[in-house]
Amino acid sequence: QKSPAMKFNTLEFLIFFPISLIIGNLLKGTAQRIFLLLASYYFYMAWNKTFIILILISTLLDYAVSLWLEKIPDSEKTKRKLVLTVSMVGNLGFLAFFKYTNFLLEVFQDTGLFSMQSWGAYVSPVGISCGWNSGAAKYICDITLPVGISFYTFQSMSYTIDVYFRKIEARKSFIDFSLYVAFFPQLVAGPIVRATTFLRDLDMRLSVTHEDIQLAFSRILIGFMRKVVFADNLAKVVDMTFANYGSMSPIEIWTGVIAFGWQIYFDFAGYTDIAIGVARLFGFQFDPNFNFPMSTNSIMDHWTKWHISFSTWIRDYIFIPLGGSRAGELRTYRNLFITWFFAGVWHGAAYHFISWGVWQGIMITIQRLFNRTKFSEMLNKKGGMIYDIFCRILTMFCLSFGFAMFRAKTMTDVWAMHKAMLFIDRPFTVDMTYRNMEYGILLFICFTASYIFSKRNLEYMQEKGGMKLVITNTVAILLILFFGITEAQGFLYFDF
């Protein structure tokens, strides 16, 4: 799919952002909110003008449903559930159509439920065409996935669910709610901001002090560095590895797979750094979405620090409503697998994404079981630094199988790469290309630096004195100038 025209790392955004910031801070009250809403719509429409209709429909639906829920007393439980269902069906219906139609057609064909080769071609009034694709030997519909639909759909749905459970009051102002759904910094790739956070800051706009400006621009700069220096450079070895894994040695494949883990981390963390920094300059304080997850010593710890807004979303709106860990061991593990199956489906409409989600559930289940043993208790008490380092390496080893599932195009590719990674179908060899050796060294540096700086974030540097932040910013600027990829590359999570 075509990437959004106004990506953060484009000239268009570098023009749009300061203009929006200046006007947005000069205006006050309702005028300011209307301007930010129109600016956000313009930001999204720079990619595709048509799909703004979907955001408007989703906004109108959840705005009306929330006001309706507010008026229905708790005693009328059935009616309240039916009204909430209207929101769920509407939002998930749009998401399912645009994101999962072709996958469901593939499942039907793979299971033999339907013989679709004889189905005729179809063209809808809005230009969506379906027909038999002889190259893929599948019946496929040509559907463009609206950028950010997974993010703004979940954000809007969480608001309606919170109103249903009386956690928040329904917002009377349509402008306020519309801005919550469409605020441009986090619109297309998160973080998934809760209504309590956004509306709180909207009502009591935070002051933007000199220290806030310094910290926000530092965060934006770090975000650009993560994206254009690390993520975009790592993309070279990642793309090469996943395109040519059949002729590579196991060590080369391991290098490429681990490189992808770091690529998507730097890419996504870079985006959210920019989004959080930009939002702060408008007076909004979004919670961190990453907290050095690549140097953790367990899978469970990794998921408390990676894409935090999403992991807490599935915890609060799927795992806990299913019963969480309150209904016995078997049901707890069942709830874990359902939650992570859903996480896989959310990330993409394909078998390899589902397998990635299931793999996370398997790893978390194994860790929960191991943590209950006396052997685990003994190692945690007496293992010391050696055990801690071993756990960090093992965690990266296990995560890497998931990275292969996430990045590969088909399950056939996944199985082939996993066999090679386990030295099943090709011998162990250290024969590597010079470029992969370079990236292997870079990955070691990334892992070590992430471990060292995991407790030295920007806030820490600012508290310890402005000079530390100045040095960090200077290094970031030099890295961008000397090693940054100048051609704007799309952010990976725009595809989700």
Q: Shortest CA distance to 351 belongs to which of 115, 116, 109, 151?
A: 109
Q: How distant, in Å, are the alpha carbons of 153, 203, 247, 311, 458 from that of 348? A: 15, 36, 28, 16, 33
What is the three-class DSSP state of 122? strand
Which residue in 302, 307, 347, 352 is the catalytic one?
347
Report the DSSP beta bridge partners of residue 133: 138
SS3 state at 130 = strand
- Give the C-alpha separation, 482 to 485, whole Å: 9
Give the pairing type, strands 138-142 and 129-133: antiparallel
The CA distance from 248 to 242, in Å, is 10
Task: Give the span between the Cα atoms of 56 and 168, in whole angstroms.
Answer: 22
Please state the φ and ψ torsions of residue 431, each to the nearest 5 degrees.
-70, 110
Active site residue 347: yes
Do 260 and 238 meet the contact criterion of CB atoms below 8 Å apart?
A: yes
For residue 348, what are the contacts with CB-CB under 8 A and spacing of at least 6?
Answer: 495, 496
* Stretch (H or E) spanning 358: helix 351-371
The upper half-sphere exposure of residue 18, i.e. CA atoms within 13 Å in the direction of its Cβ, equals 5
The sheet with strand 129-133 has its strands ordered as 122-123, 129-133, 138-142
Cβ distance 170 to 69 under 8 Å? Answer: yes
Residue type, 290: F
- Environment class of residue 192 by beta-carbon count within 10 Å: exposed (0-12), middle (13-18) or buried (19+)? buried
CA distance 85 to 161: 10
On whether the CB atoms of residues 258 and 400 are closer than 8 A, the answer is yes
Residues with active-site annotation: 347
